[in-house]
């Protein structure tokens, strides 16, 4: 299971939100490039970057920072936030992003996913409260079902799903095993990677995610944010925990 240390960008700064709430933000400084470089030097196999400004508005506000991160590290960068057109996805690829994450647009323009997937690697961001998918920076309920949508996209050439339990995100209270189990049961045999996000607070949480298996299907990766920034464990300890 690969580990994805997360860098969430707002106004060019490195921040974390609590349960996706833009009014409950913790600022971790103005050097996201330095953060990314430190993660890569510590052995991160991937870095996950989110443009929170773009996720909310659809307007790319941190693309220069994302490009700088890609240029500064020698590991692949997965990035999303506000990717709602083929052109926006292409711009991230030209900035150096190895895999683009499409969230809101995947729900509102599902045909976009196949169009982008034909050109570059794509992950679909499935951000949910339980099984209710949310959009527009997690602020709007879509009324769509998490597993039903995952099954539809599994046949469209996507490389991965990033599955986030919004209620756990930034809380350090542990991931939603029930939610992840349901997604693995739905798409585990499709060949699409499933990446967990939200709630990781201890290395035991990571061990539990690494051990999760449904009919032989397991998670390909886990995104970590606040736990690293607040020193709950180091990236080296996390990597040791998952082997």
What are the residue ranges spanned by the domains of the chain?
2-241
Residue 23 bears catalytic tag: no
pLDDT for the residue 116: 97
d(CA 135, CA 11): 20
pLDDT for the residue 19: 74
Closest CA to 131 of 169, 102, 166: 166
> For the domain bounded by 2-241, which CATH number is listed?
3.20.20.70
Counts for the chain of helices (H) and strands (E), in that order = 11, 14
The rounded average pLDDT for each run of 10 residues, N- to C-terminus, in the chain (243 residues) is 96 83 82 97 97 81 95 98 94 97 92 96 94 79 92 94 92 95 96 96 98 97 95 97 91
pLDDT for the residue 25: 76
pLDDT for the residue 137: 64
SS3 (DSSP) at 126: strand
User: Which residue out of 2, 53, 64, 127 is catalytically annotated?
Assistant: 127
Residue 30 bears catalytic tag: no
d(CA 93, CA 110): 20
Closest CA to 82 of 112, 49, 58, 98: 58
Strands, E, within 131-241: which ranges?
132-135, 140-145, 160-165, 193-197, 213-214, 217-218, 221-224
User: Which residue out of 8, 51, 53, 169 is catalytically annotated?
Assistant: 8
The pTM assigned to this predicted structure is 0.94
pLDDT for the residue 138: 66
């Amino acid at each position: 299971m690969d580990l994805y240390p997360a860098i969430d960008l707002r106004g060019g700064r490195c921040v974390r939100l609590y349960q996706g709430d833009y009014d409950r933000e913790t600022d971790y400084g103005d050097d996201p490039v330095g953060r990314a470089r430190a993660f890569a030097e510590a052995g991160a196999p991937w870095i996950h970057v989110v443009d929170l400004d773009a996720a909310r508005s659809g307007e790319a506000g941190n693309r220069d920072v994302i490009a700088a991160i890609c240029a500064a590290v020698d590991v692949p960068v997965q990035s999303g936030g506000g990717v709602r057109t083929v052109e926006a996805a292409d711009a991230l690829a030209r900035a150096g992003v190895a895999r683009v994450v499409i969230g809101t647009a995947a729900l509102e323009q599902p045909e976009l996913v196949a169009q982008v997937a034909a050109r570059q690697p794509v992950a679909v961001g499935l951000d949910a409260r339980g099984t209710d998918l949310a959009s527009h920076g997690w602020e709007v309920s879509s009324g769509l079902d998490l597993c039903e949508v995952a099954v539809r996209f599994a046949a469209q050439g996507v490389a991965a799903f990033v599955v986030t339990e919004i209620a756990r995100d930034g809380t350090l209270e542990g991931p939603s095993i029930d939610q992840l189990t349901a997604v693995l049961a739905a798409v585990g045999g499709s060949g699409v990677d499933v990446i967990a996000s939200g709630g990781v607070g201890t290395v035991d949480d990571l061990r539990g995610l690494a051990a999760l298996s449904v009919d032989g299907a397991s998670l390909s990766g886990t995104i970590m944010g606040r736990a690293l920034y607040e020193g709950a464990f180091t990236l080296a300890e996390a990597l040791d925990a998952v082997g």
